[in-house]
Amino acid sequence: MKSPLESLPLFHIGPIPITQAVVTTWAIMLLLVVGAFLLTRRLELIPGRRQAALELLVDTLDTQIRETTGARPAPYRAFSGTLFLFILAANWSSLVPGAEPPTAQLETDAALAVLVFLSVIWFGVRSRGVKGYLKSFAAPNPVMIPLNMLESFTRTFSMFVRLFGNVMSGVFIIGIIASLAGLLVPIPLMALELLTGLVQAYIFAVLAMVFITAAVGDHAHHRNRQDAETDGLLPATEESASPPTERDS
């Protein structure tokens, strides 16, 4: 049986081997970029069907970002939304016959996790400055510095292994079942795999957002909250601070 940990090159460009996962990734990138470009031409004030569907998507992403982190979604929408859409498209690319999801390979997931690691640093430095960001490692007290540094690596590693393990195990199990039972039997498992793909894409994007807003810190959070209140997006603080009323028992 083919090892899930290694990938065979399809062809070579110069000295660089190109695997199937890379080709699938290129196809997804092309699809997303061209699709986003074509769908956002001629935006109007009163949306048609196509634009309403797009606005629904963007609005859902915004709501999720706002509710998960309490921050204003605008600075993070591009990164987090792209992560979500790309991983979702990659996980669901197993629907295309012959294609294997690129997220079932180690390299793609490692690249995505490194992207999150770097963007945490970037957003943190941008919001607090280099000194402030480094100071955040000594958060409760300086004894925690090694642990905090270790944590920033291990959580990236666990994001990577989580995405890889989930998607790869799905592909692996479907392969085993298909070799045992053949026609129609793997279909329920494939449906389950679609659900897993959606949940994993969601979790990856949400965890990236959580790490980023943890690095950005509290002061940005308060400012964003006030902005949201003045925009009427969030209820006023007094109202939300009141305890939930006890239900009649």
The one among 12, 41, 49, 247 contacting another protein by CB under 8 A = 247
Is residue 110 at the binding interface for another protein, with CB under 8 A as the rule? no
Element at 16 (helix H, strand E): strand 16-19
Tokens 């797009």, residue located:
54
Is residue 210 at the binding interface for another protein, with CB under 8 A as the rule? yes
Q: How far apart are CA 194 and CA 191, in angstroms?
A: 5
Please say which residue, 98 or 244, places its beta carbon nearer to another protein: 244
Q: 10 Å Cβ neighbour count for 84?
A: 23
The one among 110, 203, 228, 233 contacting another protein by CB under 8 A = 203
CA angle 226, 230, 236 (to 5 degrees): 70
Q: How far apart are CA 171 and CA 134, in angstroms?
A: 41
- Find residue 13's DSSP bridge partners: 16
Is residue 7 at the binding interface for another protein, with CB under 8 A as the rule? no
Is residue 199 at the binding interface for another protein, with CB under 8 A as the rule? yes
Is residue 162 at the binding interface for another protein, with CB under 8 A as the rule? yes
Is residue 175 at the binding interface for another protein, with CB under 8 A as the rule? no
Q: How far apart are CA 151 and CA 165, in angstroms?
A: 20
Q: How far apart are CA 228 and CA 238, in angstroms?
A: 14
Residues that contact another protein, how many (by CB under 8 A): 23
Shortest spacing between CB 42 and another protein, in angstroms: 34
Residues contributing to the site for another protein (CB under 8 A): 3-6, 64, 67-68, 158, 161-162, 164-166, 169, 199-200, 202-203, 206-207, 210, 244, 247
